[in-house]
Chain A
Amino acid sequence: MAAHLKKRVYEEFSKVVQLPQEEAPAKKLRLTKPSKSAALHIDLCKASNPTDALQYLLHFARSSVEAESVEGVVRILLEHYYKEQDNSVRLKIASLIGLLSKTQNFNPESILDDTLNTFNTEKSHQVLAQLLDTLLVIGTQLPESPIVRHRLIEVAYKHLSDTYFGVRNKCLQLLGCLGNVDTPLNKDGQGLVPAVIGGSAPGVSGGVCVRDAQSLISDYFADQDPRVRTAAIKAMLQLHERGLKIQQTIYDQACRLLCDDYEQVRSAAVQMVWVLSQLYPESIVPIPSSNEQVRLVDDSFGKISHMVSDGSWVVRVQAAKTLGNMLQVSPHFLEQTLDKKLMSDLRRKRTAHERAKELYASGEFSSGRKWADDAPKEKVDTSAVNLIASGACGAFVHGLEDEMYEVRIAAVDALSALAQSSASFAEKCLDFLVDMFNDEIEEVRLQSIHVLRQISTNITLREDQLDTVLAVLEDSSRDIREALHELLCFTNVSTKECIQLALLELLKNLTKYPTDRNSVWKCLKFLGCRHPTLVLPLVPELLSTHPYFHTPEPDMDDPAYIAVLVLVFNAAQSCPTMTALFSDHTFRHYTYLRDSLSHLVPPLRLPGRTQAPGGNGIEGSGSVESAQLFLQQSLGRISTIHNLQDPGAQDLLNFTIRDLQRLGELQTELAGAADFSATYLRCQLLLTKALQEKLWTMAVPLCLKHNAMATAAAKQMLEETYKLEFLYSGLENRQVATIHHVRLQAKALQLVLTARTRRGVEPLISVCEKFLQEVESFQRLFVVELPHLQESFVGKLLDLSPKLSACKPGELVKILQTTLRQSGFLNLQLPKQVQRASATIIEPTGESDNPLRFTSGLVVALDIDATLEHVQDPHNTVKVQVLYPDGQSHVIQPKPGDFRSPGPHRHRLITQVYLSHSAWTEACQIEVRLLLAYSSSRLCKAAWSDSSTEGLQPAEGATEGTIPFGKPVKVFIMPKPARR
C-alpha cells in the first residue's frame, strides 16, 4: 500500500513538471526561431517515401541547432516519428534526438517525457536500442537529478528481458552509468525516490519494489549472447568506478567468465577479477579439489596469471597489464611467476639462468664446450611433474616470450611495477629482464632497459649479468646505447672485475661511436661515485703508473683517457687514499679537467695543494645550502629598497645582478632561481633608468637620445617578462602576478613614451583604452594576489581606477607617469623550485667545415639532435628555427614522435629539418636554433577555469610568440644550381 501511495505521489509530481513545459516553450520557440524547425517540418512532410525522409534527416544532422530551438525541433521530429512506418527513419530520428540533447546550454529534461513516451509504441528492437542510447545521452547530461535517473532506470529494467541483444546491451549500459550507487533503499524507501521492481515478472505495472542494480546486472553474466555478457561486466565495472562497492559474491561468477569462449568477455572478466581482488584482498577463498584456502588476491593473481597464456592476444595484454597492478600479492605467489621447471627426457634440467649462477658461484667461467654440457641429471618423479602450470606458475616466462610485442611490453611493465614493490622479486626477475635486451623489437629492448634502470636501486648485478648487459653497448641504435648508459649510472656492481669490464666495454663503445662521448663520460662519473672502493685497486692499472719507472704522459685530448680520469677522480672524491697513487701529470690533468669539464670532475682535497679556486671552499651538500643562504641574503638586501628612485638603489641592483649571475654559474642547482631573480631585477633596473627624473622634465626634442633609450628599455622589459613567464617552470601564481605586473609597467612606460613623441590625441585614445583593458584583466586574473600588491604600481593605479576610465588620454598619461615613478619596488618572492628551461643542440656541432651540398630548389635533410631540460609539454612548444643568411627564416614544428623522454624533466629531440634555398655562389652558414613558443591564452584559460562565471570570452590580450633558447648552431650549406 505504501509503495502504491508513493507511486501516486511520484506520478502527480511528474505531471506537475510536465504540463507547463509542454506548452510554453514551444510557443516561444515558434516566435523566435520559426525558420529552422519549420523548414524541417516542411521537409519531412514533403518526403513521400522513407528514403527521402532519411535523406532530409541526414542533411539536417549536418547543420547545427541553437540551444533555444532544440526543443521545438525535437517535438517536430517526434511528431514525425509517430507517423513513420519505416524502421530506419525512426532509428535516425532517435539518434538525432540523442545528438540534439547534447547541444550546449540545453536542458534535456524538457524532452525526457516525450522521449519516454515513444517506448510505449515502439516495436522494432533496433529502434528500441537506439532510443535507449538516446536516454543514455540524456541521462549523462543530467547526472544530478535523481528523479530523471530513476525514471530512466525503470525503463532499463523493463527492457532488460528483451530478446534482441542490442536492447539488453543498452539497458545494461544505462544501468551501469545511472544505476543507484548508494546502498539500495529498503522496500519502503522514503522520499521521492521511486522504487523499481526487479523480480520475476518484468513489466508488471503494479507495485514497485527495489532490486539493486548490482544483483540484476550480475544475472546477465550468464546471458546467452557474449556481447551482452561483456556489456554486463562493463556495466558492473562502471558501477564500481562510480563508487559502488561490488559484493564479493560476484567473484566466483567473474572467475567462471575467465573461461568464456569469447575474448571480449574474458578480457572484461580479467578486469572484473582484478577490481574484486583490490576490493577484498584479504578475504579467504577455498581452493577447489583440496581443503586449503588462500587469500583472495593470491587466488585472483593465479587466475589472471593463467590468462597470460590465453589464446587471444588482447586478453593476454590485458592480463599482463593487470598483473602489474596487483601489488598486495604474497611473495610466494609472485616468485612463482618466474618459475619454470625444465625437463628433458623426464630428467630435471637446470635452466640456463641457474647454470650461469652456479658457474659464477663456483668461480669457473663459461665452459659450454661439450655437447650435452647442459645434460639433465636427476631423474624426475613422473607423478610429481605438473605440466599445466597451476596458478601463477611461469606467467611471466610466457609473457616475455609471447609472439606479440604488445604482450611482451605489457609483461615488462608489469615486471617493473612488481619489482619496485618487492626487492626479492627484483633480484629474481633480473635474469629475465636482461634477456629482454635481446628482443627483436627495439621498443621492447628499450623498455626493458628503462625498467631495469627503475629497479636498479634494489639490485646488484652479477658479473655474468653485467656481461650480457654490456654486450648491448654495441647496439647501433643511439637510443638503446644512451638508455644503457643511463642504466649503468644507477647500477651497483659487486666486484672490481665488473668495474674493469664496464670500463672496457664503455671505451670500446667510445671508439666505435665517438658521438657518445658525453654520455659515456657521464656514465663513468656515476660509476666512479658509486664504487670508490672497487676502483681503488684498479687505479695503478688504469693510470698505467709503475712503481719504479716513469710512464709516458698520456694524450690529454684522448677521449678514452679523459673517460678513465673521470672514473678515477670521481672515485677519489670519497676515497682520500687514492690521490696518493696519482702521478704528477695526473694532478696537472686534474686541474685542467676540473676547469674544462667541471660538471664531470668533482673538487678533490689534494694533499699539499691549495684548493681549486672554483671550489669557494665549500663542499658537498653544504655548498648548496650556503648558496641558498647567499641567494636569500641578496634578495633580502634588495628588499630594503622601497623606491627605485632612492639614491644608491641602482648600484645595489647592479651588484646584486652580478652576484646572482655568478651564483647561477657556480651552483647548477640554483641556476634557475638565480637567473630568474637576476632577470627580474634587470627589468627593474631598466625601468629605473628609463624613468630618471631629470630627463623627463626636458622637452622632447632635446632628449631624443634618451627617448630612444627608454623605448628600447620598454621593449626589452616586455621581452624579458615573456621569458620570465614561460622559460621558467615551477612558478606559482604569486610570481606570475609579479611578472604580469612588470609587464604592465613596461606597457605603461610605452604608453607614456608614445604620448610624448606623437602629436594628436586620436591614436592615443585607442592605446589608452587597450591599456585600461589590460589593467582590468590583470585585476580579474589576480584577485587573490591583489592584497600583496598594495604599494605597487598596479595597487596605486587601481586605487584611482574609477577616475581613470573617465579621464582623457592626456590626463591618463600624466597619472601613469607619476604613479610609475612613485610606485614602490615590488619584492620578489622566490618559489621553492624554479628551473630554467634550457636546450643544447648536440648535433649538428657547428664545427664542420664541409658544407652540406645539395641542388638548389630541392630539399636536404639536416639531422638535429638536442636535449631539452625543464621544458613542459615540449611537443607543443618547442620549434626549430632556421635562419638563412639572406634573412629568411623558417620555423619548423617537429613531430611528436621525435621527442623522447629519457629522464624526469628531460627531453630529447631527434628530428630532421628540411632545408631548401635557391642557389648561392659560396658555401654559407645558416643558423639553426630552438624556439620556445608560448601563448598567454594558455595561462589565462587555466586561471579562468577556477571561476567559470566569466564564460567563454576570447582570451583577451592573448599574445603568442617565441623565445629563442639554447645556443644557435651554424651549419655550412651550399645549394648548387641544378645542372641541365
Chain B
Amino acid sequence: MPEIKVTPLGAGQDVGRSCILVSIGGKNIMLDCGMHMGFNDDRRFPDFSYITQQGRLTEFLDCVIISHFHLDHCGALPYMSEMVGYDGPIYMTHPTKAICPILLEDFRKITVDKKGETNFFTSQMIKDCMKKVVPLNLHQTVQVDDELEIKAYYAGHVLGAAMVQIKVGSESVVYTGDYNMTPDRHLGAAWIDKCRPDILISESTYATTIRDSKRCRERDFLKKVHETVERGGKVLIPVFALGRAQELCILLETFWERMNMKAPIYFSTGLTEKANHYYKLFITWTNQKIRKTFVQRNMFEFKHIKAFDRSYADNPGPMVVFATPGMLHAGQSLQIFKKWAGNEKNMIIMPGYCVQGTIGHKILNGQKKLEMENRQTLEVKLQVEYMSFSAHADAKGIMQLIRMAEPRNMLLVHGEAKKMEFLKDKIEQEFTINCFMPANGETTTVITNPSVPVDISLNLLKREMALGGPLPDPKKPRTMHGTLIMKENSLRLVSPEQALKELGLNEHQLRFTCRVQLQDPHSDPDTLSRIYTHLKSVLKGYTIQHLPDGTVMVESIVIKVSSSAEEPNTKVLLLSWSYQDEDLGSFLSTLLKKGLPSGLSSM
C-alpha cells in the first residue's frame, strides 16, 4: 500500500527549530529548517544526521521549502545547505527570500561577533545559500520534477508567510507553517481551498486558547496610549524588529492620522528600515485596506513615525517610542526604560511574551524595585501594561482551517504536547479523522488510497454507455467489464477482444457446470418442458428457447435433464454457463434448487 511518512526533526511537540521531513510517493521533502531560541549548543539546529550519517544531503532530499522568515523556521538553512551540504532547490516566497538574509545576517552577527562563537556559518555562506533559493508566487503550481509539484497559499502571520501544498500524483500533504486566521492591521487571514490533502500538518501554538476579538485589544491599546500622551507622559513599546512592530506602527499611525494627534512617534532604527522597505514593496501580500489604498498612499510610508535618536529620550513632552528588543533584556529599549522608569506619568506597553529572567518578565510580574548592574536599584514608577498581539491561529482558527481544507488525516506540530493532546481529541471527535502528534525523530506513517488514473478506450466507454439505461450519474459509481493492460508505464482499459488482439492471444472459454437434483415424477422431456414454462414465467425479458435436441437455452445457458434408471423420480439437471454469464447462471442454479412449483402443466 502507498504511504506517506512524516518525521519531525524539530517542532515535534515543541516550539522552535521547525524542521519536518515528509516522504510522499517516493519523494523526500524537508519543510522548514529552523533554529531553537532556547539553546546555544548543538540542540540549536535540527539533527541532520537523522537523514544521513555522512556526506551531503542532496541525494536524499528532493527539495526544501521554507514557510516564512522567522528564525525558528529558517535559522538553520545556511548551516544545512553550506556546512552539512545540500545543493537542491530551496523554495520560499518572494518576501521571505528578500527578508530572510537580513535576519540571518543579524543572527550571525549576534552569535559570532557578540558571543564570539566560532564554527558558525559566515556571510558568504548566507549568500551562497540564498543563491539556491527558487522564489514562489501565491497559488502558483511549481513542478519540482516530473511528479512532485508544490503550491503556496496565503498564511497571514508575517509578510510572505505561506502554507504549502505538496503533491505527488493524487497524494498530497499540506504544511501550514505558522498562520493566522484573523486578519490584522497589515496582513490578511490565511486561506486555502478545499484541496482535501491526505495529511494536513498544522502548527498548534494556541491549541488550547480561544482568543478575544482583536478589536477589544486594539481599542485598549490605543486608549492607553492616547490617555498617557494626553497626560503628557511618554510611552515605551519594546518590540522585535519585524512582524508585530509593523502592525503596531500602522495601528498608531492611522490613529494619529484619524485623531489629528501631534505627539511624535519614534522607531529605534536598525534592520527595521531595510525591512520596512520590503513591506512597502510587497503590497500584494498585505491586507485589503493597504492594498486598496496604496495607490493614494502606501501605508508603510509613515507620516508620523520618525527615526529615533538617542538624544530624543530626554526631550520634554509626550512621545511614543518603539524600541528593540522586545523583552527589555538589553539594547536601546532597556536604556530608554531606565530613563523613564522613574516617572509615574510614563507607561510601558509589552506587546508580547517575555522569557523568564528578563527585565520585561520581572516588571510584568509587578516587581517595583529592580537591581541593575553595579548594585544600583531602579524604582519602577511608570505604568506597566501587557497587550497580547500574537499572530497565530487559535483553537477555533485551526478548526476553521481544517474545515476549509477537509484533510483525511491531521498532524500537529509546533506546540506543547499537553496542549496538543487536547486539540487532538477535539479534532478526532469533531471531524472523525485521524490526528497525529509525533515527537522529534518519531515517524508517522499514513496509508493512503490514491486513485490510479487509467486511460479507457472510447469504444468501450461508448459500448457501456449504450448498454446502461439512464444517463451516467457522476455521483454513483458503475461497474463495467474490460481488460486492464499495464504496458510501458501506462495503464489502459480496453475491451477483452481488443486486448486479445493486441496481445496476440487466443480466447479461452471458461464454462461452469452444475448439477441440480430434482424430485419430479414426470418423464424427462416433460420435466424439461415444465422447467421451460417455469423459467418463462420467472425470467421475463430474457430469451428462453426450448431446442428440439432436448435442451433449454436461457440466453447462452444450457439446461439438460437426465435421470438414472434406478431412481426415475430423481432428475439430474445439468446447467452449463460461460464465465460471462456468471450472474445469471448462479441465479438459475439457486432457482432450480428450490424445485419446480407444483401446478405447472407440461406442454
Contact = CB atoms under 8 A, between A and B. Distances in A.
18 contacts: A200-B470, A309-B400, A343-B210, A345-B208, A368-B220, A371-B384, A397-B213, A401-B183, A403-B188, A403-B287, A404-B288, A405-B289, A435-B216, A436-B215, A468-B223, A471-B226, A474-B260, A476-B260
A432 B191 CA distance: 25
A351 B216 contact: yes
Given A345-B419, A438-B218, A477-B258, A402 B183 contact: yes
A401 B385 CA distance: 24
B215 A387 contact: no
Nearest to A311: B404
A476 B194 CA distance: 43
B366 A370 contact: yes
Nearest to B260: A476
A30 interface: no
A306 to B, nearest CB: 9
B192 interface: yes
Contact of A435 (B182, B213, B399): B213
Given A346-B422, A382-B425, A401 B260 contact: no
B474 interface: yes
Contacts of B593: none
A389 B220 CA distance: 27
Nearest to A310: B404
B365 A371 contact: yes
A410 to B, nearest CB: 14
A189 B425 CA distance: 60
A441 interface: yes
Nearest to A393: B396
Main secondary structure of the interface of A (DSSP, over half): loop
Interface string A814-843: 000000000000000000000000000000
Interface string A381-401: 010010111000000010011
B385 A351 contact: no
Contact of A387 (B226, B365, B396): B396
Interface in B186-232: 188-189, 191-194, 208-220, 222-224, 226
Contacts of B191: 311
Contacts of A474: 258-260
B185 interface: yes
A404 B430 CA distance: 28
B533 interface: no
Interface in B377-411: 383-386, 395-396, 399-400, 403-404
B43 interface: no
A342 interface: yes
Contacts of A475: 258-259
Given A342-B212, A371-B386, A261 B400 contact: no
- Among A200, A309, A438, A474, the most chain B Cβ lie within 10 Å of the Cβ of A438
B289 A401 contact: no
Given A371-B386, A402-B183, A388 B403 contact: yes
B475 interface: yes
B385 A368 contact: yes
Interface residues of A, number: 50
B396 A400 contact: no
B189 A403 contact: yes
Interface in B352-377: 364-366
A388 B399 contact: yes
B471 interface: yes
Contact of B192 (A311, A369, A477): A311
Nearest to B426: A387
Nearest to B257: A476
B254 interface: yes
Interface in A478-520: 512
Contacts of A345: 208-209, 419
Interface in A350-384: 351-353, 368-373, 382
A440 B185 contact: yes
Contacts of B260: 474, 476, 512
B288 A403 contact: yes
B420 to A, nearest CB: 12
Contacts of A436: 215
A319 to B, nearest CB: 15
Contacts of A311: 191-194, 404
| Closest 5 pairs between A and B when the two form their complex, measured CB to CB | A371-B364, A352-B216, A224-B474, A403-B183, A435-B215
A161 interface: yes
B216 A405 contact: no
Given A352-B213, A385-B426, A476-B260, 11 more contacts: A224-B474, A340-B213, A341-B210, A345-B208, A371-B365, A389-B396, A403-B189, A403-B287, A438-B215, A438-B218, A441-B289
Nearest to A260: B194
A439 B214 CA distance: 11
Contacts of B403: 388
A403 B185 CA distance: 10
A387 B395 contact: yes
A353 B185 CA distance: 21
A382 B212 contact: no
A901 interface: no
Contact of B471 (A161, A397, A405): A161
A404 B185 CA distance: 12
B183 A369 contact: no
A856 B443 CA distance: 80
A47 interface: no
Contacts of B383: 369
Given A222-B475, A389-B396, A468-B219, A352 B185 contact: no
